[in-house]
Amino acid sequence: MKSEEHFLKLLDTYFPRDHEFLKLGRGDDCAVLAGGKDYCVSSDIFLEDVHFRRSYFSAADIGYKALAVNISDIAGMGAKPVAFTMDLMAPSELDDNFWNDFLKSMSMLARQNDIVLAGGDLSRADKLGISISIFGVAGGSGNFIRRNNCAPEDIIFTVGDLGLARAGLMTLEALGDKGREAFPAAVNAHLRPKPKVMIGTLLNAAGINSLMDVSDGLARDLPRLIGPNLGADIRLVGEQLNGNVLAFAMGVGTDPIEVAMLGGEDYALLGTTSPDNLDKVKSIPGLTVIGKVTDSPDLLVNGEPFKVQGFDHFDH
């Protein structure tokens, strides 16, 4: 990187300064978002050798995923993203070719979702790190959909592939970039997750009870969705899983249902709705009913207690 000013000019190449949700954009000490609305706000950190490896993540993959995981948080509230800020920790050896690929990919995703880059900060560091804060406005019903708003007998559903990104990560860790050929759908799910903003707003409009995105695996995120005093009775079969999950599980000699439950970085949507509302919700594209909420604080999978937890940021 030649200089901070050089990088700021590079940003202007890919990200406009004007947007309907900005009263004041990049260039001052703070950006000013247009008022008159409630905003939801989320932040994520994306660190080299913690969340990604440059040995098999291209610059374009890194730029895309750093923003995608934040957009998914907004989708998990049934909301629409409108603006984000980005703080970069940048190693000096990364050149314009890297940053052009990084920013081109990120800006493409931002344009697809009509999101403006409002500001941020830049610092030199030994390893690459990206911290993004993202802002969203309510979609669908006009409200934000929260967790912990369900009752016994409510229907549990997902939208998106469970365990696919986990299979992709484990394939890349074992085979490196060659893993793209072995399990392409799984590897792509890990490198380029697809945030489900439109689905989230449709679910919001359909009147569901609770919603979140699945980032740490179904086994860990489901208790977060339903709260400490309730449980879940989950029914999963192989036909509900992506073929790459089944093939990966067979190849390593493990249970595909366990791969799906442990997951990690699926960025699927997980929610609940009342039984009376199920017919309306089932019309949402890609929605799969996987179980129901119970009044006992246990997680049952296909009739058996499931004790294994998913990803924890402080376990490693």
Full set of structural domains in the chain with CATH: 4-138 (3.30.1330.10), 155-305 (3.90.650.10)
**What is the 8-class DSSP label of residue 48?**
B
Tokens read off for 291: 């179980």
Q: What is the pLDDT of residue 309?
A: 63
Q: What is the pLDDT of residue 314?
A: 42
Assign 303 to helix, strand or coil: coil
Residues 6+ apart with CB under 8 A from 204: 78, 79, 138, 139, 140, 141, 143, 145, 211
All residue ranges of the chain with pLDDT < 70 are: 1-2, 4, 28-31, 140, 308-316
Angle between helices 164-175 and 184-191 in degrees, nearest 10: 100
Q: What is the pLDDT of residue 11?
A: 86
Tokens 């406009």: give the residue: 16
Strand arrangement, sheet containing 79-90: 39-47, 129-138, 79-90, 116-124
Q: What is the pLDDT of residue 163?
A: 97
Q: What is the pLDDT of residue 313?
A: 46
Q: What is the pLDDT of residue 307?
A: 79
Neighbours of 286 (CB within 10 A): 12
Phi-psi region of 32 (alpha: psi -120 to 50; beta: other; left: phi over 0): beta
Q: What is the pLDDT of residue 316?
A: 47
